[in-house]
Structure 1
């Protein structure tokens, strides 16, 4: 069975029949590419129960619960498609895998100290610039993939981002991130990014760095720096928002920087901060534990 060929057909099906947004389509494409790379690495064509279990474990090691559920939805849909076209496949191998229930939607995040350790333990110029920019501006991995050099103005410290729904926004970039990106670009012979239309971040072959590779960069360096945490680009985005809120930033400004269409999405971060405040209160207030 040629899953790669089926994947090409499935991509056409998603575009023609499903009417997915470009962002959702790209997310599903990346999720299925991740699965196919996993299967190729194990020399497997049709995943059996053990392979499915191993893949789900790999997702748990790399992603937050919401991302795992999206991956699962993507691969289930893919194998439902293959099942109708490929006689060799008798059942959807992921059919009995359940999504993670009771997910409360509260974002996971790193502490400022953990973020500092992660960045400072990343010596590679490109990867350090990626981590700095993700944390400095709260970008999604797909938004980082889409950046061109000219989208970042190193002089004004602003980056132009194309977000969900093809909505453009301008986000500030901190001095540490500007320095890291500038050092990376100087290695490519770029002194002034504003005049360059190349992708901001390149892979080893000189092409645009894709979402899957961005996730891998974050995962690889976090494994060494904060091995007890499961870190993804979205966890860094959550850290950005949580740390801003902790420092007194207002929700409306955070909403603008994150590119959330609704303020209610941004308000999730208040629950994280309130939980933190209550923990401090319970620990420190002399009357907190009295009956």
Structure 2
């Protein structure tokens, strides 16, 4: 019963997305199955840390990365915090747990040249899918929105006259992002194709398949990977790397960190500072080439 209450808490009180809630539920359910099959324990309220440690060992033996294990433990920590908050538990069995060490994950953004080649050299088809794919890439690169935010865009979220887009981010937090003129042009071209579809099943959704259904996240990933493979040799080619590229290119060209934070929908500067790595690299180049002290050496 407590797991059901926790899921409702995440969905209704925390306002987490369905995808996030499902991930928490899956992690906790997996641990509950482990406790029942390995130790005969039905209620997670009875669990002590040694059992959790056994689960961690099992996950590692199964080949999960430390990062994935840490994510599962984070779900479990949130669950036990909920049990403490509701008075079911006094102390969490994970109170003294330390996360497994992980290698720092550095994503390499696409260069400005690669993105220019995307729009100048790729022959997008002049049909629904071609105009849709080009617009999706344009939006991800020029607004920095997340893949889930792109998928959930509604027609009413777009204002071509004001050249703005309304996005609902994590925890349904709303933000307004300006659109470039090029984006509006691509948007109008796509809308003409979209509105000409004979059958539309999801009438409010901005992005549709040729069958008239709302697009889904895996489709977006495949599309982005397909086109970026034509202009870049980088291993990671995903919607999130385009978001990283958006932030990096803005910072490289003098944008204020706080402004980029607002555009990305981050709750704190700490999240945005992840994207400053490449900007610092660019600043170093400028510093070395322009500082008079360096020129004398």
Q: CA deviation at 1:14?
A: 8.5
Structure index of larger Rg: 2
Q: CA deviation at 1:152?
A: 0.6
- What is the aligned partner in structure 2 of residue 61 from structure 1? none
Q: 1:212 aligns with which of 207, 214, 218?
A: 218
| Higher RCO (C-alpha under 8 Å, 6+ residues apart) | 1
SS at match of 2:254: coil
Aligned: 1:146 with 2:122: no
Tell me if structure 2 keeps the 8 A contact 1:119–1:131.
no
- What is the aligned partner in structure 2 of residue 245 from structure 1? 251
Q: 1:26 aligns with which of 19, 25, 28?
A: 19
- What is the aligned partner in structure 2 of residue 99 from structure 1? 66
Structure 2: stretches of 5+ with no match in the other structure: 38-57, 68-100, 125-129, 197-201
Tell me if structure 2 keeps the 8 A contact 1:150–1:197.
no
Once the two structures are superposed, the pairs formed by residues 151-190 of structure 1 within 5 Å of their partners are 151-189=157-195
Please give the alpha-carbon distance, in whole angstroms, between the structure 2 residues aligned to 1:74 and 1:95.
20
- What is the aligned partner in structure 2 of residue 53 from structure 1? none
- What is the aligned partner in structure 2 of residue 116 from structure 1? 116
> TM-score normalized by structure 2?
0.64
Structure 1: stretches of 5+ with no match in the other structure: 1-11, 33-72, 191-195
Q: CA deviation at 1:269?
A: 2.5
Q: CA deviation at 1:154?
A: 1.0
> TM-score normalized by structure 1?
0.65
- What is the aligned partner in structure 2 of residue 273 from structure 1? 279
SS at match of 2:209: coil
Q: 1:226 to 1:94 in 2, by over 3 A?
A: farther
Tell me if structure 2 keeps the 8 A contact 1:126–1:184.
yes
